[in-house]
Amino acid sequence: MTRNKSFKQRVRARMDRTGESYSSARAHLLARADGAPASASLTRSDTASEGVRAGAGHTASTAAMDTRIPDGSVRERTGRDYAGWFALLDAWGATGRTHTEIAAWLVQEHDVPDWWAQTVTVAYEQARGLRVPGQKKDGFAVSASKTVDVPVERLFAAFTEADRRERWLPGGDLSVRTATEPRRLTADFGHAGRLTVRFTAKGESRAVVAFEHSKLADAEAAEAAKAFWRQRLARLKDLLEKERA
């Protein structure tokens, strides 16, 4: 019990120092105890998944099943649950069709609304091993968001002003391509893909930042990016809210 309490204290100390989530900080400390390197690099597979380090043991397909839109919502909006659509698609021969053909068939032959047709198609491709979770036509992508108790203008500036950005994203090679203050920006992230960032005001003193990191090389890079941005957004929130306090 004493050893477990001591370890938790070390985890929380790391969280305070780095801005990481509990699971991420725990994973890094466990990795070090095992003699494995710990890094937030977007290109290292040994930091790709917090769940793997923490012993979750989920495969990529299982993780996709855990995070996709619930069966009940799909049934309500389309008339069938995933199993019903998958059986229908199998009978149609969808495993030999392209993504575009599957989605179009759902829309044209079964009157599935376009967005829900895309949802069912992606879930089907993942379930049948035709698509790795997060995979798109131009590579892999991950998304992240964070609500921060500051005005939207300050949240926007934390991305666009280099000196402010350096405080929560040190060394981040972020090159802004387009920006519409304080609502949206796109940026290159070094050689590690493209960022599309949206900012939404929630009143005068609260805002949400939500973005997609796309054009990632592979599934390992996508998982590493997901863990990386989870850490960095936690750090961003902590810094901005402490400045405001």
Q: What is the pLDDT of residue 200?
A: 94
Q: What DSSP designation does 46 have? A: G
Tokens of residue 100, six digits: 């575009």
- 238 and 146 share a domain? yes
Inside any domain, residue 30: no
Which phi-psi region, left, alpha or beta, contains residue 35 (left: φ > 0; alpha: ψ -120 to 50)? left
Inside any domain, residue 221: yes
Inside any domain, residue 85: yes
| Phi and psi at residue 10, to the nearest 5° | -65, -40
Inside any domain, residue 83: yes
Type of residue numbered 4: N
Q: What is the pLDDT of residue 114?
A: 83
What letters, b where the CB count within 10 A reaches 16 and e where it falls short, cover 132-145? ebbbeeebbbbebe
Inside any domain, residue 186: yes
Within 8 A by CB and 6+ apart from 12, the residues are 22, 25
- 108 and 190 share a domain? no
- 91 and 147 share a domain? no
Domain endpoint, select from 128, 144, 169: 128
* Residues 129, 46: Cα–Cα separation, whole Å: 24
Domain that holds residue 84: 71-128
Domain endpoint, select from 96, 128, 160: 128
Q: What is the pLDDT of residue 49?
A: 32
Inside any domain, residue 52: no
Inside any domain, residue 42: no
Alpha helices in the chain (DSSP H): 2-18, 22-33, 50-53, 60-67, 71-78, 82-92, 99-110, 114-127, 152-160, 162-168, 219-244
Q: How many structural domains compose the chain?
A: 2
Q: What is the pLDDT of residue 73?
A: 86
Angle, helices 82-92/71-78, rounded to nearest 10 degrees: 60
pLDDT mean for each 10 residues of the chain (245 residues): 61 60 56 39 35 32 56 90 95 88 92 86 81 63 90 95 92 87 90 88 93 81 84 94 84
Domain endpoint, select from 107, 128, 149: 128
Q: What is the pLDDT of residue 53?
A: 27
Nearest to 95 by CA among 104, 82, 84, 86: 86
Within 8 A by CB and 6+ apart from 169, the residues are 232, 236
CA 173 to chain CA centroid, nearest Å:
19
- 106 and 145 share a domain? no
Inside any domain, residue 231: yes
Type of residue numbered 242: K
Distances 176 to 9, 172, 185 between C-alpha atoms, Å: 39, 12, 7
Q: Which residues on neighbouring strands pair with residue 144, listed in sequence order?
A: 211
Type of residue numbered 31: A
- 221 and 195 share a domain? yes
